[in-house]
Amino acid sequence: MTSLDLAIAIADYLKEKNQYYFLSDEKYAGQKLLVTYGFLPKALSNEDLKKNFPHLVVRFIEEKAWEENLSYGTNRVKIRVYFGTVNDDKDKSFLEIYTMLEQNKQFLLKKRQFGNYRLIVDSDKNALNIVIPEEQPLPQWVGYIDVFY
């Protein structure tokens, strides 16, 4: 299994786990979660942008191998899982992205191995990092989880 295969396997797994996901804002009811690996489709218009939300995108970020591990065929892979939601509620819209990140963190912690890749759980190496950027393209909300295998 290659690093890209790992990203695809994670995307497939999270797609299954999120099959019943829906946006809480009734204004956006019926918009299905777009789950893919790599990149979102290019948005050339506001209509295209709307089609990209909500989303979950799994992307290979980097792979590191070092001398002592080369003989064992092991390395460290960083996968980033991007999330995007949309909600017009001015007071509670941030809860949607937080909930989505938290649920998917739990899904990733429950399945710690994909093929020959195992989730790194050493306290020094940070198995999962969750980020919600300060600046947000409201009413869309974005965040991501970095996962290390």
What pLDDT digit, counting tens, does each position of 87-113 carry?
999 888 999 999 999 999 999 999 999
Answer positive or negative: Cα dihedral of 135, 103, 109, 62.
negative
Banded pLDDT at 50 (limits 50, 70, 90): confident
Q: Does the structure show a pLDDT above 90 at 124?
A: no
Share of the chain above pLDDT 70, in %: 91
Q: How confident is the model at residue 113, as a pLDDT?
A: 95
Q: Is 42 exposed, middle or buried (0-12, 13-18, 19+ CB in 10 A)?
A: exposed
| Residue whose entry in the numeric block shows the structure tokens 């941030």 | 94
Whole-model pTM: value is 0.90
What is the pLDDT confidence band of residue 71, given thresholds at 50, 70 and 90?
Answer: low
9, two tokens? 């396997």
Instruction: Say what the pLDDT of residue 54 is.
Output: 96
77, 94 Cβ separation under 8 angstroms = no
What percentage of residues in the chain have a pLDDT greater than 90? 67
Which of 17, 44, 132, 12 lies closest to 82 in space, CA to CA? Answer: 132
Give the length of the chain: 149
CA distance 39 to 66: 28
Mean pLDDT of 69-93: 84
pLDDT of residue 73: 59
